[in-house]
């Protein structure tokens, strides 16, 4: 797809919390072109229709790009669950193995729980030093992280339930 459509789709996938700008999209596309992960195709004008603008450049994933995407999506480690990468990884979980999804979700939850514990232990110390607006901002941050930890726990439980359901033999199989 062309850059405009790609940006639109990615922003739709990533939701309101992360907006992809053209200033970050096109340099990333150029880097992927240099790495042969994608290729440019130029659309031809429709015969009989006057050409009023330059042809659109359409980007297409190469075989090497597909392999690199698969490799990146199978990586598990701190970069998979850090703030800068987690939402992008999560947006593509549909093409990720369940064990990898679970490890990424659990890693993210652990990281957030560590952050939450650290902030909560320091919260009482800083409450006396900040005005009510700064205190309210701290409270909002704690509540946001607590909410995300609950969300991650629900996702992990749902993944495990799916895994258990897949392992249970069906009634028909167990009667044979």
Report pLDDT for 170.
57
Secondary structure string (H, E, C) spanning 34-69: HCCCEEEEECCCCCCCCCCCCCCEEEEECHHHHHHH
Q: Tell me, what CATH number does 36's domain have?
A: 1.10.10.10
Q: Is residue 2 domain-shared with residue 39, that is, in the same domain? A: yes
Q: Is residue 85 part of a domain?
A: no
Report pLDDT for 38.
97
Q: Is residue 32 part of a domain?
A: yes
Query: Low-confidence residues of the chain, pLDDT below 50?
Result: 171-172
Q: Is residue 105 domain-shared with residue 163, that is, in the same domain? A: yes
Report pLDDT for 119.
83
Domain of residue 130 covers 97-168
Q: Is residue 7 part of a domain?
A: yes
* Total domains present in the chain: 2
Report pLDDT for 98.
92
C-alpha count within 13 angstroms, C-beta hemisphere, residue 87:
14
Q: Is residue 114 domain-shared with residue 65, that is, in the same domain? A: no
């Amino acid at each position: 797809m062309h850059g405009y459509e790609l940006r639109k789709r990615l922003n739709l996938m990533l939701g309101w919390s992360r907006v992809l700008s053209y200033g970050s999209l096109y340099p990333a596309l150029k880097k992927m072109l240099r790495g042969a992960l994608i290729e440019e195709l130029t659309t031809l004008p429709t015969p009989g229709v006057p050409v009023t603008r330059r042809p659109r450049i359409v980007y297409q994933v190469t075989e090497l790009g597909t392999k690199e995407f698969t490799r990146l999506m199978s990586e598990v480690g701190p970069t998979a669950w850090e703030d800068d990468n987690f939402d992008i990884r999560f947006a593509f979980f549909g093409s990720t193995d369940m064990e990898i999804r679970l490890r990424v979700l659990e890693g993210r939850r652990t990281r957030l729980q560590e952050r939450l514990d650290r902030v909560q232990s320091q919260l009482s110390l800083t409450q006396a030093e900040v005005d009510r607006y700064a205190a309210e901002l701290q409270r909002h941050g704690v509540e946001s992280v607590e909410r995300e930890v609950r969300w991650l726990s629900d996702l992990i439980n749902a993944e495990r339930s799916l895994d258990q359901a897949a392992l249970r033999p069906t009634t028909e199989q167990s009667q044979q």
